[in-house]
Amino acid sequence: MLQIKSISKQYRVGDFTQKALDGVSLNLRDNEFVAILGPSGSGKTTLLNIIGGLDRYDDGDLVINGISTKQYKDRDWDSYRNHTIGFVFQSYNLIPHQTILSNVELALTISGVSKSQRRHRARRALKQVGLGEHINKKPNQLSGGQMQRVAIARALVNNPDIVLADEPTGALDSDTSVQIMNLLKEVAKDRLVVMVTHNPELAQQYATRIVELRDGSIRSDSDPFEVTGQQSGEPVHRTMGKAAMGFTTALSLSLNNLGTKKARTFLTSFAGSIGIIGIALIMSVSNGVNTYIDDIQRETMTSYPITIEEQSIDLSSLMSQSATAGGGEEGADHANDGIYPDDSSIQRASTLTTSISENNLTAFKEYLDDPDSEIHQYVGGNGIQYSYDVKFSAYTHDPDGTLVNTDGVTVGESASNDSMAAQMATSTPYSSSTSSMSMLTGETDENAAPSSFSEIMPGADEETLISQVVTDNYEVVDGAWPTGADEVVLVLNERNEIPLTTLYELGLLPASDYQTMMDQLNADEEVETTTDKLDYATALDQTITLIPACDQYVKDDSGHWRYIGDDADEITQLVDSGTGTSLRIVGVVKPVEDAQTTLLSPGIGYTRALTDDLIDHTDSSAIVTEQQADPDHSVLNGLEFSPADDAAKAQDARTYVASLDVSDKASMARSIMGSSMDSAQLAAMSEQQIADSFDQYLATAGDDVLVTIYDRYISTGTYDDNLAAFGVVSRDAPSAINIYTDSFEAKDGISQAIENYNASADENDKITYTDYVGLLMSSVTTIVNVISYVLIAFVSVSLVVSSIMIGIITYISVLERTKEIGILRAMGASKHNVSQVFNAETGIIGLCSGLLGVGLTVLLNFPINSILHYFMETDEVNAALSPVAGVVLVVLSVVLTLIGGIIPSRKAAKQDPATALRTE
Ligand code: ADP
Ligand code: MG
C-alpha cells in the first residue's frame, strides 16, 4: 500500500519557481490499475518519479507499506527502485549498445543475481511479452512496440510490487498501443500499476481507477481509497535487500559502450599512450645505457681494482698542497723593500716526501681477513687479491746456447754501461707501479723478480689457479694454460706482439744480436732490428731456470754466506747443475678480440702456485733458517746488526777487513782511498800492495776513521733487510692488496669502508691510497640518471596533458550517456555504481593507452637500437624496457586516466536521475 500525503514539489529555475505538484494526496491499493490523466505540464511525470523514488518531494510524505520514506537513506531508495518498482517510459529508454537480453537482465545484474539466474529470468520475461525470438537483437533493430515490450519485460523481470508507466503508448500507433495496454492489464492482475497517459479512452477502457491531475493538484479520482486506522494495519518494515552491482557489470557496460565507438576509443588511447611512450622510451634508452655502463663498470673494475701498496703517494694531498705551497700570489705579498727567499722548490720537495706514506698492510690484511668487516659487502666477483714480492732470478739459454738472465742483462755484464738511449730502449713500457715507486724512494731491489715476469691473477677461491677474468679475456693460441707451479705461459699483445727486448730476455733471440743492437745504440748508429716472426713452437720449446733469491747465496769456508747472483761463472754452474726450478712455457696466450681488460703484460705469466712454492721454499732454505736462528748477527759477514757503540763498530770494522781476501781488500781500499790518492799511482800498484798498504793504514787509524769506514762501507743493515734480500715473504704482509669490485657504487662503498677503518685504526695503521678510477669516472652514472630524470620530467607534462584529455573525453561520454545514467538509476543503481561505470570506462582507456604505449615502445626499440648501434658504434647499448617498468607504466597510465576521469564520473554519479531521464 502506497500513501501519498499532501506532497508538494517545486522546481526552481533562476528566479522563477515552478510548482509541479501542489499538495497531492493519494492512496494506492496494492493491486489496481491506476491511470493518471492530465494535460501536459500538469505534474504527472513528477508524481510518478516521486512515487518511483527517482525524484524527491519538497513537502508532505510518501508512506510505503506503513513506513515513511522520510527515513529513507540513498541506499534504501536504490533498493526500493530495484526491488519494488518497475519503470516503463514513453521513450522506452533502452540502452542502445546492449542487446535486448542484456537490457532486461540489467535490473537483475544491478541486484547482484547470478548470471545463469539472470539469463533464465530475462528470457522468461521476454517470452512473457512475446519477444522470445529477438533476445540477441540490439534495440535499434526493433520496432517501437517491440521496444516498449522489452521495456515492460525489463520492468517485470524483478517481479516488482509496483509498475510505473509514463505514457507507455505515447509514441506508438493505436494498434500497437492496444497490444501494450493489454500487456499492462495483464501485468496489473497481481500488482499495482500506475500509468500516466493523456489518452482518456485507453484509460477508460483498461484502468480500474482514473485520477485526474491539473496544475499539480488532483481534480478527480474515480475510485478513492480511504485509509482508516484499522486498514493501515501495523507498519511492516520490509527488508529492502541490497541493490548491488558488481564491478564486472560496470566493466561490461563500459566495454560495450566503448565497443560502439571503436575509432574514438583507439584515438583516445593512442593520444593517451604518447606520454607513456615518451617515458617508456627514455626509460628503455637510459636502461640500455645504464646496463652498458654497468657492464663497462664491471669490466673496468676488474682491470682497475682499488690498489693499496706498501708505500703510497697521497696524490690528492700532493696536488692540493702544491697548489697552495709557494704559489705566485703568495709571493706577491712581499713589500718592495728587500730580498726574500723563494722556498717553493724546497716546499715542493718536502711535500713530495711527506706525501709518501707507508701502509701497514699486515694490519689491514687482518681487517680484510675478518669476515665481519663491512668492506666485504662491496667486494666484487674477483675478490681481494694479495701480491707478494717474491724474489728470484730466471735464466735461460738463447738459440746459440748462451746463458741469459731474463732481467735483460746478459749474465756477467752490468747494465750500467749502457747509454741513456739503451736504457730507455730496454726499460719495459709496462713497468709496474712498484718499480716507479722505488725510483721515487731511491730504493733498489736487486733480487726482485724480472720485470717480464708477472703473476697471473688467481681465482677468488683457493682452488682456481687462474681467474675467470683472465681466461675470459685471453685466448690460448697454442698449448694450454698452466696447471702447476712449474708451468708458465708466454703472453702476447692483441697484435700477437711481444717487445723485442723481452724476446731477447727470454732467450728466444740470440743474445749476440742484442749486444750488437746495444752497441749500435751506444755509438749513436742506426739500429737494425729483426721483425721476423717466431713460431709458437719455438716459444713452447723454451725452458727457463728459476733460482730463488735464497738460493743465490752460498756458504763459503769462513762460514759466512756469500751472494753469487752477480757472478757469471757461479750462476752458470748453478743453472747447469739443475739447482733451480725448471719452468716450462706450456702455452702462448693473447687477448681475445674484444677483450675488456688486459691484465697480463706481455712476457711470462706464472701462477699463484709458483708464488706459494717460492714462499715455502724460501722459508725452509738453509740461509733463512740460519739467519732466523741468530737474529743478532748477519749470516753474510757474522757481524752484529746494531753495534752498541763506536768502539764496537770500530772492532767490527777491523774484524771485517781482516776477514777479506786480498782482492776484496784491494777493491775496498781502492774505493776508500780513490779520492785521496792519485789514480795513476793506484793503478800502478798490484792488488797485494794495495791490500798491504791498506792494512798498514788501518793499523794506525783511530777509532773515528774506523767508525766512518764501518758506517760507509760495511754497515750490515738490519735483520729485516737480510730476510728481505733472501726473499722471505710473510703471507700476512703482502706487498700490495687489490680489491676488486663490480661497480662504481661498490667501489665508493670500499672507499667509505677504508675511511671507517682509518677512523678506528691507530695512527700508524691508517691506509692511504689513490683512487684513480674514482677520481675520473664515478659521476658518469649519476649524470645519466640525472639526464633521464630531467627528460622524464619533461615528458611527464605530456602525461598530464593526456590525463586532462581523457578527463574531457570522459566528460563528453558522461554527457552522451546521461540517459543511460538515468536508466541505471531508475533500475536501482546507486551513485557509486554509476561512478563505477565511468571509472571502468576511464580505466579501460588507461589500460589501452598503457598497453598500447608499452607495446609501441617495445616495437620502437628495434629501430632505436639500430640507430644507437650506428651512432654509438657499439652493439652493446641496447634500449630495452624492463618488464617491471612496463607494468609500472601501464599501472601509471590507468591511475592517471582514472584521476582524469574522477571529476566527470563524480558528476555522472551526482546526476539527478529524474533530470537525466528527461534529457533527450
Ligand atoms: P507532465 O508530465 O504532466 O507533462 P511534468 O511533471 O513533466 O508534467 O512537469 C510539471 C512541471 O514542472 C512543468 O511545468 C515542467 O515544466 C516543470 N518541470 C519538470 N521538471 C523540471 C525540471 N527539472 N526543472 C524545472 N522545471 C521542471
Ligand atoms: Mg510527462
Model confidence band, residue 323 (pLDDT cutoffs 50, 70, 90): low
Best-predicted range by mean pLDDT among 195-204, 309-318, 553-562? 195-204
Average pLDDT, rounded, for the chain: 83
> CA 636 from chain center: how many Å?
60
How far away, in angstroms, is 166 Cα from ligand 2 center? Answer: 7
End-to-end CA distance of the chain: 33
Atom of ligand 1 nearest to the CA of 167: 2
Q: What angle do CA 109, 115, 117 make, to 5 degrees?
A: 95
Task: Give the pLDDT confidence score for residue 164 in this predicted structure.
Answer: 94
Place of cell 576521469: 901
Residue 51: nearest ligand to its CA? 1
Ligand 1 mutation pick, 11, 56, 198, max ligand atoms within 8 A of CB: 11
Is residue 45 within 6 Å of ligand 1 at its C-beta? yes
Region class of 446: left (phi > 0), else alpha (psi between -120 and 50), else beta: alpha
HSE-up (13 A, CA, CB side) for residue 87: 30
Is residue 20 within 6 Å of ligand 1 at its C-beta? yes
Task: Give the pLDDT confidence score for residue 890 in this predicted structure.
Answer: 93
Is residue 38 within 6 Å of ligand 1 at its C-beta? yes
Model confidence band, residue 43 (pLDDT cutoffs 50, 70, 90): very high
Atom of ligand 1 nearest to the CA of 9: 12
Is residue 13 within 6 Å of ligand 1 at its C-beta? yes
**Phi/psi of residue 240, each to 5°?**
-75, -20
How far away, in angstroms, is 198 Cα from ligand 2 center? Answer: 10
Model confidence band, residue 439 (pLDDT cutoffs 50, 70, 90): very low
Ligand 1 mutation pick, 45, 48, 90, max ligand atoms within 8 A of CB: 45
Q: What is the pTM of this model?
A: 0.60
* % of the chain residues with pLDDT over 90: 22
Is residue 915 within 6 Å of ligand 1 at its C-beta? yes
Residue 918: nearest ligand to its CA? 1
CATH number 3.30.43.10 given to 2-243: no
Is residue 919 within 6 Å of ligand 1 at its C-beta? no
Query: Measuring from atom 17 of ligand 1, which residue has the nearest CA?
Result: 20
Query: Measuring from atom 15 of ligand 1, which residue has the nearest CA?
Result: 41
Task: Give the pLDDT confidence score for residue 410 in this predicted structure.
Answer: 53
Model confidence band, residue 436 (pLDDT cutoffs 50, 70, 90): very low
Residue 914: nearest ligand to its CA? 1
d(CA 90, CA 98): 19
Say yes or no to pLDDT of 233 above 60.
Answer: no
Mean pLDDT for 412-429 is: 46
Model confidence band, residue 432 (pLDDT cutoffs 50, 70, 90): very low
Task: Give the pLDDT confidence score for residue 238 in this predicted structure.
Answer: 56
Lowest mean pLDDT among 141-155, 287-301, 534-548: 287-301
Is residue 248 within 6 Å of ligand 1 at its C-beta? no
Ligand 1 mutation pick, 15, 46, 194, 213, max ligand atoms within 8 A of CB: 46
Region class of 896: left (phi > 0), else alpha (psi between -120 and 50), else beta: alpha
* Cα radius of gyration (the chain): 52
Mean pLDDT for 130-148 is: 90
Is residue 118 within 6 Å of ligand 1 at its C-beta? no
> How far is CA 300 from each of CA 317, 632, 778, rounded to the nearest angstrom?
25, 48, 12
Best-predicted range by mean pLDDT among 77-81, 193-197, 284-288, 421-425? 193-197
Query: Measuring from atom 6 of ligand 1, which residue has the nearest CA?
Result: 43
Whether 254 and 846 have beta carbons less than 8 Å apart is answered as no
Model confidence band, residue 417 (pLDDT cutoffs 50, 70, 90): very low
Domain ranges of the chain: 2-243, 254-296+780-917, 389-629, 646-672+679-715
* % of the chain residues with pLDDT over 70: 88
